[in-house]
Amino acid sequence: MKKDLIGKPVANSILKNLKEKIYLLKQKDIFPNLAIFIIGQDPSAQYYLNNQIKKGAEIGLNVEAIRLPVNISESEFITQLEMKNNDPKINGIMLQMPFPEQFDQSNIINHLNPEKDVDGFHPINIGNLVLGRDALLPNTPAAILELIKYYKIETNSKNIVVLGRSNIVGKPIANLLIQKNNTGNATVTICHSHTKNLPEITKHSDILITAIGKPLFIKKDMVSEKSIIIDVGINKLIDKKSKRGYRYVGDVDYEDVYEKIQLITPVPGGVGTITTAMSLANTVKATLKQFGY
C-alpha cells in the first residue's frame, strides 16, 4: 500500500485553476503582477525565486524580482518597499528570506501593504486568520490545508498535534485547524521544546504536523498505526554517500516510521512542493480583491 501524500499533483491542480483565473482576468485587461524582494545572493533564496518566476510564467503571472545588495540599510529597503506598495501595477509583494541580521523584521513587515502581503505575515492578515475572517494566509499553512483537501483527510473531531510554534507555520496552522469549516473542527495540541512527555502526546494524535527544523527527530516509537504525518521540516543533512555530500530530510525519520504509520508526506516532494504555488494563489486572490471581485 502506498502511503505517500505527494505534493506535486496538489500543486498542479492549484496551478491549473490559477491559469484559468488569470486567463479570464486578462480578458478584462487585468494582469496580475508579483514583486519579490531579495537581498544578497543566498543560494536557497535564489533557487526559490527562480522557481517562482518559472511557475508564474507557466500560468501567465508576471513575477518581478527586486534584487538588492546585502549592504542596503533598513530605511533604504523600506523606501523601495513603499514604492511597490503604492504601485497600482503590483498586486502582490513577497519578502524573500533571509534578511540581513541587522534588520528589524517586524518593522519591515509592518510597512508592507497588507492587501499585497502574499506571505500572509502582516499583523492584519494574521489577526483576520485568527478571527476566522477572509485573509491572505501564510503559504505553508495554506499548503497544508490544500493537501488535506486534495487527499480528503478528515479533520472533524480529530486530535491533531502541531509540533512547533513559529509564527510562520505552527501558530497559524493550529488556528486554521480549529476553525468551523471543512478543514477545521479539530482538537489541536501545540507542542514545543519545553513540552514534557512528547512521545506520549504525539503517539495519541490522529494527525501529526511537524515544523521544528530537527532532522529525523520523530521516530516510530513516537507515532501509532493510525498516524497521518504531515512533515513540514526540510533539513540539510550531511551524507557522504550522496554525490552532493548532503541530502534533504524532514523532521520525521521517514524510513523508520513508514511501515508503522497510515500516511506521510515525503521530504522533499511533499508540502514544500505546494508552498510555491500558494504565493501565486495569494497574488491572484489579492488581484481579484483589489479589482472588486
Domain 29-113 shares a fold with domain 139-273 = yes
**What pLDDT is stored for residue 213 in this prediction?**
94
Q: What is the pTM of this model?
A: 0.96
Q: Where are the domains of the chain?
A: 29-113, 139-273
**What pLDDT is stored for residue 85 in this prediction?**
98
Per CATH, the number for 29-113 is: 3.40.50.10860
**What pLDDT is stored for residue 80 in this prediction?**
98
Per CATH, the number for 139-273 is: 3.40.50.720
Q: How far apart are the first and last CA of the chain?
A: 44
Task: List pLDDT tens digits, range 237-289.
Answer: 888 888 888 899 999 999 999 999 999 999 999 999 999 999 999 999 999 99
Sheet with strand 62-68: strands edge to edge = 62-68, 33-39, 92-95
Low-confidence ranges of the chain (pLDDT < 70): 1
**What pLDDT is stored for residue 258 in this prediction?**
98
List Cβ neighbours of 207 (8 Å cut-off, separation of 6 or more): 153, 155, 158, 159, 160, 161, 186, 227, 228, 229, 230
Which residue, among 239, 238, 220, has the nearest Cα to 229 in the 3D structure? 220
Query: Which cell numbers in the block locate residue 81?
Result: 518597499
